[in-house]
Structure 1
């Protein structure tokens, strides 16, 4: 099954982390919501893309384990050191959800473009495959955002795919630099107006319009960021719906 219109879920939330280390992960509300957006198919097809961290096998394996535990049909597309599937376009177009993990958004977009994946993903989006992801996997669909792709001090990234004509701030409440850097980048014109998410929140876009903000628990929210004529930035909290799935 597919979404009934082009759909992107851009988040600061993803797999739920367990107590046994960084690769103890489980399917949480945000991934279940992505499956719902795809029409709630039985055993939804989820393809994981982890180019933002170089396709590490430990992360990919952890995602497979979590998806299998939830009775989702897991696959992945790797590009390092070479693609693991012969027909990339065919594989991605068969998915219900394409989930993009976090890391370096600058490297992610560059590698995708080098392999022609930007055009394939756009086709998948238009055909009803739900595109979703966390952090770099959220910024990538937008014009850009703040990023640690270039070092520990955040910088502006302006070379996103740009299908969503907004800036995107992730981990808004989780990292001290994130909120002031987004305000700075919008105020000086490096980035345009946009949206931001606390850790645990996500932005649902239908087509290129924001449809709603969701969260995987009480507390996290989303924000609209707009530059005024005097160069100041207005931050407006947005209504946020808490996802309710049995786990």
Structure 2
């Protein structure tokens, strides 16, 4: 069952330790499934940013069993499962992209033409979502530790959303100043950011609301003040899931 409008849930969360498993899907992933309207959800996990680790895929499979969902994986290492990647994605209600190296993710996706396949799925009503690298990838770009502990800015995101994106805003001290500097310099456009546990819901390219699976933490928008060239930050209203 496709979503009514193209939908993206870009987050800094989605997982939690399981009671009897390594991890479970937290409220943000459940919210992504709710947005799809599916009664028998089919979730596609994409672990490119983490190198398609089969051990982590197994943890995601367990989380799927706990939730009662059908979970599959789009592994690009050592080769894609099919020549029809768009068709593979369209078989699912939700695509959830895991964290890791967004720079590596974007490079590998480019080689396999996955960006066009993701756009087709998005336009068809498959809910796209993810955490960290799986949040930045939908935007123009954002800050990343893909190259080392000193944060850098990537600007070759898929651009489904015409904004920058900041993740882990409250848990990594360098994230905020890196985003502010990038917006002030014009390296990033208007940029939406999330604390750990928070997510940004977009319908089409419009931000509809910020949500959080935690009692604390928030979401923010950073824009460049044209007269001064200074980045200004505003706290967004947030709904607790």
> TM-score range, shorter-chain basis?
over 0.9
For 1:105 and 1:198, how far apart are their aligned partners in 2? 18
Residue 19 of structure 1 and its aligned partner are, at CA, apart by 7.8
For 1:90 and 1:159, how far apart are their aligned partners in 2? 24
Unaligned runs of at least 5 residues, structure 2: none
For 1:19 and 1:177, how far apart are their aligned partners in 2? 33
Relative to the length of structure 2, the TM-score reads: 0.96
CA RMSD of aligned residues (A): 1.3
Q: Which residues of 2 match residues 78-157 of structure 1 at below 5 A?
A: 78-85=75-82, 87-157=84-154
Residue 242 of structure 1 and its aligned partner are, at CA, apart by 0.5
Bigger drift between 122-131 and 222-231 goes to 222-231
Q: Contact conserved, 1:5 with 1:206, CA < 8 A, in 2?
A: yes
Aligned residues: 240
- Secondary structure at the aligned position of 2:105 is classed as helix
Residue 86 of structure 1 and its aligned partner are, at CA, apart by 5.1
The Cα offsets for residues 197-233 of structure 1, whole Å up to 9 and x where unpaired, read as 0000000000001000000021121101011121111
For 1:174 and 1:97, how far apart are their aligned partners in 2? 27
The Cα offsets for residues 69-120 of structure 1, whole Å up to 9 and x where unpaired, read as 1101000010001113454222210100000001111111111111111111
Relative to the length of structure 1, the TM-score reads: 0.94
- Secondary structure at the aligned position of 1:9 is classed as strand
Unaligned runs of at least 5 residues, structure 1: none
The runs of at least 4 aligned residues of structure 1 exceeding 6 Å deviation read none
